[in-house]
Amino acid sequence: MYPLLKINKKKILENTQAITQRANQLGVKITAITKCTGGNLEIAQAFLDGGATAIGDSRIKNLKNLAPLACEKWLIRVPMPSEVNHTVAYANLSLNSEIKTIRRLNEAAKAQGKSHGILYMLDLGDLREGLFIGDGNLATPEVETLISASFKKLDQDLQEILSMEQIELRGIATNATCVGATIPTPHTFGAFFKVEKMIKEKYKQSCEIISGGNSSAYYLIDNKTLPSEINNLRLGDVILFGRESAYYHSYDYLHQDAFILDVEILELQNKPTYPIGEIGRNAFGEIPNFTDKGIRQRAICGLGRQDTDTDHIFPLLSGLTIEGSSSDHLVIDVTDAAISYEVGDIISLRCDYAGALHAATSAYLETIVVVDN
């Protein structure tokens, strides 16, 4: 059945091996993130076989799928208060920033007879989750006042967390390049390391895990400028797609084509390239722009924006151009293709992060794991 998403386990294994080897040389362990695969068990095992030391996901449902794996599992999205019981049941460790939720995790762990590890999340400026502490560089007086209040709250939170019977504070974590698009550099971790030092000196506790971010921080491993204090990164994008997410640099030692989306041609006709009539808004309320290229051969395929982000899929063969999409249809110009197409033929598309993320979680696509090149 089509559309068909093919995830190449061999390429992901090789990417994982290449990345963990470089990370291990700097004393950094990798938590591999499965959310772009919908928590696929086979791909998670490939991560582990390739050298990842833990598996992480943002969704409890995916962690349930990964329960058979004999490894440490992380919930990398701050838990919702309503899911603390499932968090304790399916994750060994979770990232946290709210003391109210940590209290609930403690109670849930007590009820289940377990201990639960946490990393305290700190926001260095990306402005997503985490207690806001800035990056340690100069800030406005207003921001400095907020940072001062945050450190007071942090002190209170740490005192309470360390007194909890079922919660184990295993370290600290931060994130970047997700909401605020801030790029981590060797100079943006000043406040982060200040917290690590505070925990060690004031509370006489070492941070087992100092998790310095996601795939946007991988370039610091590649160029060997990652601060030595950091001993963990949470990586999905760069392993799966061979590209770091700070500057979108692709590495020649990594595969970029582990996710291939096959779509079937359901109509193939010659048509004008400029709509006939007054142009208004499309199905998504957008006012599109068109260029008149004359009469072209257009393949309409059975895939749409309900299935994936069609701005993030790319034809493998040269001469093909995606011209547009609606909820259920993808229009590809095949005029300049080196081969002739017919109705029922398959066109293969490479997915990047956004394309794969949506495709892997669509109920209307079939997903298979392949092992060949």
The residue to which tokens 């007879």 are assigned: 113
Give, as one character, the DSSP assignment of residue 51: T
Q: How many angstroms separate the CA atoms of 142 and 120, rounded?
A: 24
The residue to which tokens 């209040």 are assigned: 149
If DSSP codes are grouped into helix, strand and coil, which group holds residue 117?
A: strand
Nearest to 37 by CA among 7, 75, 63: 7
Fill in the amino acid letter for 99. I
The residue to which tokens 């002739």 are assigned: 340
The residue to which tokens 């967390």 are assigned: 161
Q: On the CB side of 12, how many CA atoms lie within 13 Å of its CA?
A: 29
Angle at 211 between CA 208 and CA 214, to 5 degrees: 160
Q: Are 47 and 69 in contact (CB under 8 A)?
A: no
Q: Are 99 and 118 in contact (CB under 8 A)?
A: no
Nearest to 251 by CA among 8, 18, 11: 18
367's enclosing H/E stretch is: strand 366-370
Q: What's the start-to-end Cα distance of the chain, in Å?
A: 21
Please give, one letter per residue, the 3-state secondary structure of 170-230.
EEEEECCCCCCCCCCCCCCCHHHHHHHHHHHHHHCCCCCEEECCCHHHHHHHHCCCCCCCC
Nearest to 29 by CA among 46, 13, 47: 47
168's enclosing H/E stretch is: strand 167-174
Q: Is 372 exposed, middle or buried (0-12, 13-18, 19+ CB in 10 A)?
A: exposed
Rg (CA), the chain: 23
Q: Where in the sequence numbering do the catalytic residues fall?
A: 35
